[in-house]
Structure 1
Amino acid sequence: MTSHVHVHVALIGVHLASAEERAFRRIDVGLSALTDYATRGQVNAALPQGIANPLCPGERLSLVNDDSEGVYLRVESGESRSWSGFGDTVQFVQDLLTLVGNADCRKDLPVLTTESGTRVDVKMKTEPVIRDHWYPTFLLKLDDLPTVLPTWLCLREKLEPSAAVLFSVDYGGPGYYQNKLFNVASAAEGFSNALFPDATGIAPDSYAQLRQYLKKLPDKDARDWAFSMIKRNKPGFTARMRMLLTLPDPAAVREVMADKEDLWAKWITQARNAISHSNYDDMKEIPPEIGQALLYVTKTLLHLVMLAELDYLSPKQQQGVAALTHTVRRTPFTEYLPP
């Protein structure tokens, strides 16, 4: 009998009893934008050290300069972790660089360090690291990273998993447009749920009265169906999209939306419903020339929402519009519709 072994991850330099064994105290990982970010316009700049992660007591983040490899991220833990136990922190930092660098940031293969100080190389199949991106603008100064990073880590956790869905559009490469459009629409709904947790569709008193009225329906099937339709007193999708529009700087929103906020809310709702319910007639109501713009304008809006939630970066929103719409992947409506 022949057996086949499929190796997904190889740890070179250590033997573990199981994949869950907690043997590591540190991870070093290169990020494609990090060296450019840490050194642009600065000579021998002091790299931030020992930034505490409020989500993980005892965890500290540093930028480390290696003359041969450039600048990389180091995450150190106060207690031992499994080989994959640093993943969320690294991912969140990668996402921050994507947000403030206006281009997708990629990870190199990491290097782990055991409790005894042994170096362990991690080998796995990954996407190629993009090294020739041009990052036209970084919205976050290196000196401000110790202030912003802890806030970002908390915000990114708050927006999970919707933020992961949003950033997957940056990291995913080529793919079906409808998949990407549905992903950003789903992320937008998740952002609204996270940032407006107490929002209601109608006034609580009216909702209570409606439930009392439905309880009096004589037909049980009709009563059960009606209650399933109003199980939660939450805003509809279009209302949630309008709520998101209130978070970023109004001038930044106007520039991205070309003063067509109501049309955007209508179109993104139609697109989301068309794709999720296989009702493509709704999609036909969206002007064909708006197609790609709808995807990237929605993504840009969500990037602006995150900048707005990072109080320190909130004033950077209008600068962010120019940077976020620099490439065709983030083209504003003004490229498709006359002012």
Structure 2
Amino acid sequence: MHSVAKSIDMLKAVLDGKTYEAVAQTFGMTRSAVEQRIKALARDVQAVVGVEGVDEDVMPTAASMRRWKESYLEALEHYQPERASGRRGRNAAVTEKEIDLAVDRTRRMSRCPNRDVALLLVLFASAAKPLEIARLEVRDYLHADGSVREESILRPDAAVNGKARPLFFVSAKANAAIDAYLDERLRRGHGVTSMASYRGLDPASRLFLTDEGKAMPIRVRKKDSRCHSHCGLILDIYRKIFARTGIKGVSALSARRTVAQKLKERGTDDKNIGRILGLKEKNSVRNLLSNRPQPLKAMVKELI
């Protein structure tokens, strides 16, 4: 733990503008050793917590880290080294057995079990990022007649990269969990209307709410004509969900690798995996090419 704390101090020094050479002199280490430790920590933070504006598989540089300084500092606040140290291999997927175990323990241990089980399963069914899930609205999941929008769209204002992409609700497990949570919302009067459409829920209300029935707060900062958003609450909810499971090395970002690997095993091409996960770089996804392309809906059906 002391070693990790030292690496965090080094990373913060670089974020503040110090060179690797200057940091090396301060800590009595070689420049290359300092650079390796800082980049390893930065990538771990990207993968375990997620750094807004930075894809989890991108190799950080001093310039890029300084550009996203506030995002890295925000992520460090939610970084737990004890979870990172047990993290599974970079490309390892979470198994069906582990997901089922996580669901069972979440049901038994959460203060808001219906919501948290739905949050957990949506993560593994959609590969959306936590901030994107926090931004989902009832109308993204439901049609006005109350039926599920199996082929939906992640709105540009909900997507982290600001670009719309396909969003599918075709997992029977995830849909059943969301429906159970929405039924609870109706009973508790959270985000309801007097209209019969959308199952009596406000279509513009967030799909997932706080325990008290409020929208999860999203902090927006503007820097260099760019707006940076962060939802610390949903990150904390996911952190607690995975902490309860006792499964080593699993974080919210593990879901994206799980979905990518399952799609790869089904022969989905890299272009469509990129579309589903919202990845800009082709080398962010390694997959098998499909000889017989399928509709996107069929590719993601019953991922969990």
Q: Does the pair score TM above 0.5? A: no
TM-score (norm 2): 0.31
Structure with larger RCO (C-alpha < 8 A, sep 6+): 2
| Higher share in strand | 1
**Rg comparison, structure with higher value:** 1
Give me the TM-score of the superposition, normalised by structure 1: 0.29
